[in-house]
Amino acid sequence: MTTFHRIATPIFRHWQALGFVDIEQIPYPLLLITGSALFLLTIVSIYYVSEEMFASSKRSKSIALMYAIFALVNPSVVLFSGASVASIAMIWSIYFIIKGKNSSSSAIFVSPFLASVASLFYPYIAFIVLLSIFFVLNLKELNIRMIIVSFIGILFPYIFVIALRYIFFEDVSVFAELLMNEFLNISRPEIRVTSVPEILQILLLTTVVLNSVRSVMRTIRFYRVEESSMLSRMIVLFVFLVLANIVYPDTYGSYMTFIAIPMAFIVCEYVNPIGGNIGRVRGADLLILYMVIFMTRINMLI
């Protein structure tokens, strides 16, 4: 069994909650090719979304690169799993809810719809559905019609999958029970670090992210409306993802696929402050973090 295969094994069962595909039966080369393609699509999506929000090609490239590095803290990100699809759906869900402020109400349907799709592919981020509702309720031009449309967006993927289960397998009750078990599979937090580089990596990640959040909160009023909306939602998303990773210890490692998304946006603003000249000093912190991540990967392969 390869290192990638060994690391990725715990996340195989998350896709099986849907009951349509048994990932353990898929040949490893196909897992790697498909997963790598979806990983690249995630990076491209992050680049596009950040370009739309910040209107800066340089900043967008930095965010996309940071995501790739942070996500590869867990090498199994390049293997096909439910998380591969859910991460893409999560990115676009956030994008549409922000663009929905100035566009048609179709975005109010698409954002909750994509959040619901993400929760089906990876049940351990089901909370993102609640976040999408929260973001919708905070829109300035909210009305009853928009609320109804957003709830239809949430329910549609579940109704569609349940209908497929009924038509092809006639086991809706079993499927619903399996899915609910995934949602409620909460257990006591566990510490699984096994080496000094891993401990150092966690400490540095925590330090850089906390400094980044503090920096963004201090300067967020200087951003344009869409930029501040994106960053504030990324901070909220990051907090919920960290909490979920704590209460779902079985997801150890695989959650980095999701945490890396808001982390990339937040850390990029820390390293490249909106009007400051201290980016190089902060960049040194990031460089040290990259070196530790690299050392940890080497240690894992030895």
Residue type, position 197, single letter: P
- Phi, psi dihedral angles at 104 (to 5 degrees): -70, 165
Q: What domain count does the chain have?
A: 1
H-helix or E-strand containing 192?
none
Please indicate, yes or no, whether the overall pTM of this predicted structure exceeds 0.75.
yes
Look at residue 17 in the predicted model and tell me its pLDDT: 44
Burial of 229 (0-12, 13-18, 19+ CB in 10 A): buried
The pLDDT of residue 6 is: 40
Domain limits at 72? 3-301
User: What number is the average pLDDT over the span 71-98?
Assistant: 88
Q: Could you read off the pLDDT of 118-174 as tens digits, one per residue? A: 988 888 888 888 888 888 777 767 778 888 888 999 999 999 988 888 888 777 787
Q: Which residues contact 36 (CB under 8 A, 6 or more apart)?
A: 78
pLDDT on residue 13? 43
For residues 156 and 98, which has the higher predicted lDDT (pLDDT)?
156
Please, what is the average pLDDT of the chain? 78
Least confidently predicted of 169-178, 249-258, 291-300: 291-300
